Each structure stands twice: as C-alpha cells, then as structure tokens.
Amino acid sequence: MEKTIQIENERMQIEISNVGAEPVLLWDKKQARNVLWRGDPRFWKRHDPILFPNVGKMYRNEFRHQGNLYTTSQHGFARDRVFSCIVREKDKVVHRLVSDDATRENYPFDFALAVIHKLEGNSLWVEWQVTNTGKQPMYFTIGGHPAFSLLKNSLNKDAYELLFPGTESLVYHLIDPKIGNPRPGETQVLTLQDHRLPLSDALFQKDALIFDDGQISEVQLWHQDGTRLVTLNAEGFPNFGIWSVAKAPFVCLEPWIGRTDDAGFKDDISQKPGITKVDPGQCFSSHYTITL
C-alpha cells in the first residue's frame, strides 16, 4: 500500500500520508515553496495532524462516561492511526478511519471518520465527516493543526504578523503549565493594531493561545514586507488555537470544534462545554479552507 497519496491542479500539489490522513506537503507552484512545515523533529515532528476524538488534553488525561473512567492522550488517537483511502480523484482524496477494538479501549463509541482533501483553484478544502455507527449517542471534539512555514524557514518570527480582518481585539486562555489545562475563567486580552498581531517567540512562551466563542473566522499570515503567505478560513468554528515553538520557523493556525478541558473538569463527557453530540446513525460534518 502506498504510504502517501498525491493530487494536484494548476496551482498546487498536496501529498497526504495514510497515517493520520495528514498532509505532509502543500506545494505552491506559483511561489515554488512548501506552505506546510517540513516536520523537523528538532522542533516538532508533525505537519498538519487531525485532532480526534479530543482536541488538546482532557483533565488528568481521562474522561468519564456512564460511570466508567477512560484514559486518553493529548489530541486523541486518530493522528497516529492508519486510514484507508476510499476515494482518489485528480483533485480529491477521501480517507476513512473506523472504530475497532483498539479504539474502544479508550473511547467507547463506534464511529466512521472521513477526512476529505479537495483542491479548488488556489484553495485546499478540508472536510471532516463523523458518523455515529453505534447504538448510543457519541461525544467528541475535533480540530485541525496545520503548521505553516515561514518564508525561507526564517527563524525570526518578528518579521511576521497575523491579520484578523475586521477584528479589534481577541480574548484568549492560556494553559497552566503545572496542570496542562487552562484554568476556568482566567483570560487575557490581545489588543490588535489595524487588525494585526505581530508574531514573536514571547507570544508562545506559555504554550498555545486558545480562543473561544467563534472569535476567529479568518486569519492571514503575512510577512512585514507585504507578502501574504496564506489565509485560513474557519467560518462557524467555535474555537481556535495559535501555537509555535521557540526559534522554530513555523506557526500553527488551528481551527477547532471544541477544545481542551478546563482544569478540574470531572463531569461526564456529555456535560463537557463545547462537546459535539451525534446520535446513532447521524453524521456531523464541518470544513475549513487554506488559500494560497
């Protein structure tokens, strides 16, 4: 079986690994550059993993459902599982992961997760379809984690900024490093200048910035010389993460549906704020786009 699947159009080429249905290359033909982070393990080994069935870390790496306790790992298991390629067309690929005995040990729901990558002009359409194949309601969060390379892999984040069209300020949560989760009710405010946020290593010294309440529907990555690298559109997504590593030449712009637990959350997973519920036989779908 092929390890990766490639599709392309006149403007771009994408290479998707069957492990995690993860894009490992997004080649901009016009600019002759890879838009995605190359996955250098000195900083971060991944490129654009899918986060399922949980975004971030559940409190103490566990959750409760119907009186049972389950252990979890940060960002869930889907990113490390081998998906089946069920559709392969010139400009479209569909991967699928289905529940099995291994997933049920830590996640007691039956599901089929389809990940669709489709090229449309200078945009990449990324869609998730989560079908409940079981006999009880299922609960999950799901998210993207695309890492975008800085021009020429520059180590100087100070030369870059994020543009949030029409937005004057943003409210965000920080992760408490002692706990691994944000503390409930503790927020910070980013005041933007001309809708822009300068990037720096200092911005990420306490890990990711977490945004709730659908504040971010579009974000653009710019070099200060006026070059726009990429636009991510996540209209309708309730949560968003922005993250990087010190001295690493990339920034992650992460559209999420749900997010990490707040510190101290111990209720049934069905009561988790922002959780998505899908009834038996029903399908949840959502998409975002990356535009060059």
Give DSSP secondary structure letters for 108-165. Answer: ---EEEEEEEEEETTEEEEEEEEEE-SSS-EEE-EEE--EEEPGGG-S-GGGEEEE-T
Task: Calculate what percentage of the chain has a pLDDT beyond 90.
Answer: 95
Domains of the chain and CATH, by start: 4-291 (2.70.98.10)
Give DSSP secondary structure letters for 33-90. Answer: EE-B----TTT-S-SS-EE-S-SS--GGGEEEETTEEEE--TT-SGGGSBPEEEEE-S
Question: Quick check: 291 pLDDT over 90?
Answer: yes
User: Are the CB atoms for 20 and 145 separated by under 8 Å?
Assistant: no
Q: What is the mean pLDDT of residues 45-74?
A: 97
Question: Quick check: 153 pLDDT over 90?
Answer: no
Q: Which residues contact 13 (CB under 8 A, 6 or more apart)?
A: 6, 7, 25, 26, 27, 29
pLDDT at 71: 97
Nearest C-alpha neighbor of 215 from the set 232, 197, 240, 179: 240
Q: What is the mean pLDDT of residues 26-42?
A: 96
Over the stretch 256-274, which tens digit does the pLDDT of each residue have? Answer: 999 999 999 999 999 999 9
The rounded distance, in Å, linking the Cα atoms of 123 and 288 is: 10
- Hunting for tokens 């550059």 — which residue is that? 33
Q: pLDDT category, 151, cuts 50, 70, 90?
A: confident
- Hunting for tokens 């309708």 — which residue is that? 236
pLDDT at 27: 98
pLDDT at 177: 87
Q: Which residues contact 149 (CB under 8 A, 6 or more apart)?
A: 33, 34, 35, 36, 37, 38, 249, 250
pLDDT at 156: 78
The rounded distance, in Å, linking the Cα atoms of 182 and 105 is: 27
pLDDT at 245: 94
Dihedrals φ, ψ of 203, to 5°? -60, -30
pLDDT at 203: 95
Q: pLDDT category, 154, cuts 50, 70, 90?
A: low
Q: What is the mean pLDDT of residues 28-54?
A: 96
Q: What is the mean pLDDT of residues 49-70?
A: 97
pLDDT at 171: 98
Over the stretch 196-217, which tens digit does the pLDDT of each residue have? Answer: 999 999 999 989 999 999 999 9
- Determine what percent of the chain falls in helix, strand and coil, rounding each to the nearest 5: 10, 45, 45
Task: Calculate what percentage of the chain has a pLDDT beyond 70.
Answer: 98
Question: Quick check: 238 pLDDT over 80?
Answer: yes
Torsion of CA 249, 290, 239, 175, to 10 degrees: -10
pLDDT at 281: 98
What average pLDDT is seen over the chain? Answer: 96
Give DSSP secondary structure letters for 11-22. Answer: SEEEEEETBTTE
- Per-residue CA distances from 115 to 49, 83, 125, 222 (Å): 11, 9, 10, 28
Question: Quick check: 275 pLDDT over 70?
Answer: yes
